[in-house]
Amino acid sequence: LMGLVHCALTVSTESTSSPLSMSTESTSSPLSIRPNLTLSHEGDVLSGTLVTLTCTLNVQSTGWMFYWTTPTQSTETRTEEYYSTFSYYHYYYHYYSHYNISSINVSDGGQYMCRAGRGFPVYYTQYSDALWVNVTESPKPVVIITPDTEVFRGERVTLRCNIQTGGTTEWAYEWYRDGYTFYPHSTAQEFTDTDYYYYSSVTYTCRGTRRRDSQLSQISDAVTLSVSDRPKPQLTSSHKGDALTGNSVTLTCALNLSPAGWTFYWNTSTLIQSNATVTAGYYANSSYYHHYDSHYNTRSVNVSDGGQYRCRAGRGHPVYYTHYSDDLSLSVIESPKPVVIIKPDTRVFSGQRVTFRCNIEGGGTTEWTYEWRRDGYTFYPYSTAQEFTVTDYYYYSSSKYTCRGSRNDSQLSQISDAVTLSVSEKPKPDLTSDLKGAALTGNAVTLTCTLKLPSAGWTFYWITPTQSTETETATFHYFLSSVSVSDGGQYRCRAGRGNPVYYTHYSDALWVNVTDESPPVSLIISPSRTQHLTADSLSLSCEEQRDSSVWTVRRYTHSERMSDCSSVSGSTCHICSLSTSHTGVYWCQSESGRRSHSLNITVHNGDVILKSPPHPVTEGNPLTLRCLYRNMKISDSGVYFYKDDSVLQKQTTGEMTISSVSKSDEGFYHCKHPERGESPKSWVSVRVFSQKVSTLKVIWSVIVASPYVLVTIILAVKYYRAQ
C-alpha cells in the first residue's frame, strides 16, 4: 500500500550536503488493513424495521469505495456514497459508508461483511469481521375490547393491546381511532375509553414500540366497536294463562343481540328487591341475530308464587345494567284434583262392562287429555276421551285406578285419589218373602231379592205367575199390596245394571201360596180415613180377634222399611204427631206370621186431604167422599172431585156421594180446591157381593117362611148323630 511521500531538503553553507529523506505508508498486503462493520440495532431485529449497517475505515489516503457481501446477493454490492473526516490529531482519514435496508424481512437475516477498495484495477482491503443479523417476525398485536365489540351507551369499555410473541419484552403502546392517533405511546397495555359515547361505530387499531431499541410491531387489525342505545330485554312465560300448582313454570329473559357475557337479574313480588335472583345466560346463534337468554325455573309452583315478575341483564365491573323488562303477571291457581268415577260401581262381576271416567272440576272449558294408571302403571296413555270402557279387568280380582289430566299447554292436574275396583264371580240373588206360610187374600206381600255383595246401580227383574214378561223394579223389593188367589205361584228374580244390561243369575224359585180365608183379625183406624194431615194424631188397633194369638200392628214405609209400629200398647198403635215419613202400608200380624188385610195410609204436608173409606165398599152400598182442609172449613167457592185424573163433580159443600157403587166406580179419587190446593190420591176398592152370602140369605128366607122345614132339618140332624 502506497503511503504519503514527504520530501525534505536541507542546504548547508558549509558545503555539507543534507540527505533527502522520503516516508511512505507501508506497501504491505491487503490483510494489513481491515474495516470495521457495525449494526444500528442490538440483538434481534424485527421485520419491517429500518436497519443500517456501517462499514468504517481509518486510513491516511483517499479515494476509497465500499463493497458489501449480503445473504440475499450472490455478488458484492458497491456503495459509492461514503463520508470521510480527517483527524489532524491522529493524522488519518476516517471513512464510513452505510448499507440501509428500509424494511427488513426475515429472509434478510444472515451474515454480512464489507471491504474497501480504490484504484484501477481495484486494490481491496481485507474483509471486515462477519456480522450476523438475526431477523424475527414482527409481532402483530390484537385489539381486545371488553366487555364486547357491541356495547351500549353508558357502558364501561376497556381496550387492550395484546402482543402475544413479545415475550417478556416491555412495550410502549400507541392507539389509533378511525386512523388517527388518540392515545400516544404509553406503557399501559390497556385503558378505558369514554369518548366512544358519541359514536354509533368506531374503529380501533394499536401498535407497540419496543422500548429498548424503539423497534415497532405491526399494526393490529382494526376492530370495530358498535354502540347502541341501552337495551330492554323481553320477558316471556312458558305458559299462557293461569299456571297450575305443582307444575314447572319457566320464565325466559331474552336479549336479541350479539354481545355476550350477560348475567340476568330477576325481581318478583315474592322476592326482596335487594336479593334479586341471579341466573347465568345462554348463547345461541341465529341467522339474523344472536339470541342470548336466561331461564327462571320454578319446578313446582305454589299459589304464593303468583305475582309480577321482571328482569334485566348486566355485565362488566362495575355492572352495566339494561333497562328492566316489562312486568309479566304470573297467575297461579290451585291445580284441580280429578275424581275417578267407575260405572256401574266399584264392585263388579266377571263379564260386566265397566266404564271409567276422569272428572276434573274447576277446569273451565280448557281441553284436557287424560292418563290412566292401574296399580301405579300406565295402561291407558294420554287421550282426549274423558271416559273409556275396558274389558281386560276380567283377570284382576282387585285393582286400584288413578287418573290425571294434561292441559293443552302441558300443565298437569293433580293425581286423583285411587279408587279400587273389586271383581267377583257372577252373583246369584236370594229370593225371600216376609210371610211364613200362606198369604190371605187382600193382604200385602213383600218379596226381597238380595245380593250377597251389595253394590249400587242395580235394577231388579221379576218373573211372576201373572205376568208373561219380566217385571222391572228400581229396588230389591217386589210389593203386592193386596194379593188374590191368582197371585199365588212360582216367583224368581235377577238383577241387572249397565248399558247394555249385565244380568246376574236367576234366584231359586220361591212359591207363594194365597188363600181366600177370612182373616181372624181386622185393622181398625181412627180417624177412619186413609189420608191424614201432618201433626195430626192417629190410632190403629187390631180388633175383632177370633183366636188367642198375640197381634201387633206392623208397617212398611220407604224410610224405615218394615218395622213394628211405634208407641204400641197391646195391640193398639198410637202416633201423636204424624209426619210424611209415616206414609206406608199398615197391617196386623201375629207371632206365627198370620196377617190381617192391610191399609194404605198417606200423610200429607199440604192443606187439603180426601176422606174416603179405608176398607172396601160393598157393591150396591152408597159411597161418600169429603174434602177436608187444615184448620178451616172449605169455602163455598166449590171443590172439584176427580176419578183417575178426570173431573167427576163440583160441589160447594165439599162432599159428594155415589148412592149405589158398582165395580166400575173402583179407582183413584182426589179433590181440589181452587185456592187451597189438591189432596193426594186414594184408591177406593169395591167388593163384589159374595155368592156364598147370597145363598145363605135364600136358605134363611125359606126357613123363616116355613117353620116345618126347620123342624125337619133338626130331626134329620139328630137321626144322623144317633146313627
Q: Which of 495, 515, 535 is the endpoint of a domain?
A: 515
Residues 158 and 202 in one domain: yes
C-alpha cell at 46: 424485527
Of the candidates 342, 474, 355, 493, which has an alpha carbon nearest to the alpha carbon of residue 427? 493
Of the listed ranges 30-34, 172-176, 279-283, 591-595, the one predicted with least confidence = 279-283
**What pLDDT is stored for residue 21 in this prediction?**
33
Q: Is residue 565 over pLDDT 90?
A: no
In the predicted model, what is the mean pLDDT of residues 581-597? Answer: 84
Residues 592 and 665 in one domain: yes
Residues 622 and 571 in one domain: yes
**What pLDDT is stored for residue 386 in this prediction?**
85
Q: Is residue 455 over pLDDT 90?
A: no
In the predicted model, what is the mean pLDDT of residues 530-558? Answer: 85
Of the listed ranges 257-266, 356-365, 529-538, 684-693, the one predicted with least confidence = 684-693
Query: Looking at residue 368, which CATH number applies to its domain?
Result: 2.60.40
Which residue bears the cell 290412566? 372
**What pLDDT is stored for residue 285 in this prediction?**
39
Higher-pLDDT residue of 387, 85: 387
Of the candidates 406, 405, 373, which has an alpha carbon nearest to the alpha carbon of residue 390? 373
> Is residue 17 a part of any domain in this protein?
no
Count structural domains, the chain.
Answer: 7
Whether pTM > 0.85 for this model: the answer is: no
Residues 306 and 437 in one domain: no
Query: What value does the mean pLDDT of the chain take?
Result: 81
> Is residue 415 a part of any domain in this protein?
no
Q: Are strands 36-39 and 171-177 parallel, antiparallel or unpaired?
A: unpaired
> Is residue 368 a part of any domain in this protein?
yes
Non-local CB neighbours of 332 within 8 Å, separated by 6+ positions: 242, 243, 244, 245, 249, 301, 302, 303, 304, 305, 306
Q: Is residue 18 over pLDDT 50?
A: no
C-alpha cell at 125: 482491503
Residues 391 and 305 in one domain: no
Q: In what order do the strands lie in the sheet with 398-407?
A: 347-349, 419-424, 398-407, 368-374, 377-383
**What pLDDT is stored for residue 634 in this prediction?**
57
In the predicted model, what is the mean pLDDT of residues 326-341? Answer: 92
Q: Is residue 8 over pLDDT 50?
A: no
User: What is the dihedral sign for C-alpha 176, 180, 185, 190?
Assistant: negative
Cα separation of 179 and 237, whole Å?
A: 47
Residues 535 and 652 in one domain: yes
Of the listed ranges 229-243, 523-537, 701-715, the one predicted with least confidence = 701-715
Long-range contacts from 558-562, C-beta under 8 angstroms, 24+ separation: 558/583, 558/584, 562/434, 562/446
Angle at 67 between CA 64 and CA 70, to 5 degrees: 160
Non-local CB neighbours of 10 within 8 Å, separated by 6+ positions: 18, 19
**What pLDDT is stored for residue 11 in this prediction?**
36
Q: Which of 472, 487, 515 is the endpoint of a domain?
A: 515
Q: Is residue 562 over pLDDT 80?
A: no
Task: Please give the share of the chain, as a percent, with pLDDT higher than 90.
Answer: 33
Q: Is residue 566 over pLDDT 70?
A: no
Q: Are strands 445-450 and 477-480 parallel, antiparallel or unpaired?
A: antiparallel
Which residue bears the cell 341471579? 278
Asked whether 571 and 616 are in contact (CB, 8 A), the reply is no
pLDDT tens digits, 377-395: 887 777 888 888 876 666 6
Asked whether 236 and 261 are in contact (CB, 8 A), the reply is no
Cα separation of 390 and 384, whole Å?
A: 16
The helix/strand/coil state of 209 is strand
Of the listed ranges 43-57, 433-447, 451-465, 673-687, the one predicted with least confidence = 433-447
Phi and psi at residue 340, to the nearest 5°? -85, 125
Amino acid present at 391: T
Query: Cis omega before residue 121 (within 30°)?
Result: yes
Asked whether 440 and 482 are in contact (CB, 8 A), the reply is no
C-alpha cell at 390: 275396558
Q: In what order do the strands lie in the sheet with 477-480?
A: 430-433, 445-450, 477-480
In the predicted model, what is the mean pLDDT of residues 594-622? Answer: 90
pLDDT tens digits, 37-67: 999 988 889 999 999 999 999 888 888 899 9
| Backbone conformation region of residue 395, classed left if phi is above 0, alpha if psi is from -120 to 50, else beta | alpha
C-alpha cell at 341: 268415577
Q: Is residue 477 over pLDDT 50?
A: yes
The helix/strand/coil state of 131 is strand
In the predicted model, what is the mean pLDDT of residues 691-700? Answer: 45
> Is residue 378 a part of any domain in this protein?
yes
| Backbone conformation region of residue 48, classed left if phi is above 0, alpha if psi is from -120 to 50, else beta | left
Cα separation of 449 and 433, whole Å?
A: 9
Residues 354 and 301 in one domain: no
In the predicted model, what is the mean pLDDT of residues 464-470? Answer: 89
**What pLDDT is stored for residue 636 in this prediction?**
61
Q: Which of 515, 537, 571 is the endpoint of a domain?
A: 515
> Is residue 8 a part of any domain in this protein?
no
β-pair partners for 65: 117
Of the listed ranges 174-183, 189-198, 483-492, 535-544, the one predicted with least confidence = 189-198
Q: How confident is the model at residue 263 (pLDDT cuts 50, 70, 90)?
A: confident
Residues 511 and 527 in one domain: no
Kind plus residue range of the DSSP H or E element containing 720: helix 707-722
> Is residue 422 a part of any domain in this protein?
no
Q: How confident is the model at residue 694 (pLDDT cuts 50, 70, 90)?
A: very low
Biggest CA pair distance of the chain: 250
> Is residue 25 a part of any domain in this protein?
no
**What pLDDT is stored for residue 363 in this prediction?**
57
Q: CA dihedral defined by 479, 483, 489, 492, rounded to 10 degrees?
A: 0
Kind plus residue range of the DSSP H or E element containing 693: helix 691-705
Query: In 10 A of CB 334, how many CB atoms?
Result: 13
C-alpha cell at 217: 410491531
Query: Looking at residue 164, which CATH number applies to its domain?
Result: 2.60.40.10
Range of the domain at 291: 234-333
Higher-pLDDT residue of 145, 241: 145
Residues 359 and 270 in one domain: no
Residues 585 and 451 in one domain: no
Kind plus residue range of the DSSP H or E element containing 700: helix 691-705
Amino acid present at 66: F
Q: Is residue 700 over pLDDT 50?
A: no
Residues 630 and 535 in one domain: yes
Residues 600 and 503 in one domain: no
In the predicted model, what is the mean pLDDT of residues 516-534? Answer: 87
pLDDT tens digits, 117-154: 998 999 999 999 999 999 999 999 999 998 888 888 88
CA atoms within 13 A on the CB side of 693: 5
Which residue bears the cell 341465529? 286
> Is residue 15 a part of any domain in this protein?
no
Cα separation of 680 and 260, whole Å?
A: 88
